[in-house]
Amino acid sequence: MLSVTVLGLAGGAAWVAKAEPDVYLRARYPLEFEHILRGHASNHGLDPALLAAVVYVESRFDPEAESAAGAIGLMQLLPDTAKGIALRTGGEQFVVSDLRDPEINVRYGAWYLDHLWSRYEDTRLVLAAYHAGQGNVDRWRADGTGIAFSETRSYVADVLRIRDVYADAYRLELGL
């Protein structure tokens, strides 16, 4: 079923059909753990659709995902990064297996995105730092080169594109 939107124009109304029906978007871009995403996005003043897009790109919503570099869980956090977040947020007994828990992983990942936002105040740079590290982003900024890694440029573009998909297909579930 194709979604149809009616737009009011000065002389009447126009019918606009979306290119892809929501059913297709929902099948291609599933959403899980929306209550966790919504809650931690709210706690950190983040866009829940952006948070969902990061999770999708990082792990396709697989809490057991693990990268070759050792990043774990929904938001693909490195254990050392997660341990630092745990200590900064009052955690005292962090264990690596915690990163497979969707609630803990998204809590740490949302905190980290918020931390990056307070440092860069630009969504593209926040995502670049999340993907390639703060040191790289700081160096690119100092050099005035923009995002130097093609893989990171692709990552940022993918997350932003998929953010729009989640905002459109899951508006109610994400509280938008």
Catalytic (active-site) positions: 58
Q: Name the region of 175 (left: φ>0; alpha: ψ -120 to 50; beta: rest).
A: left
Q: 65-73 — which CB contacts under 8 Å span 24+ positions?
A: 72/96, 72/99, 72/100, 72/105, 73/99, 73/100, 73/101, 73/102, 73/105
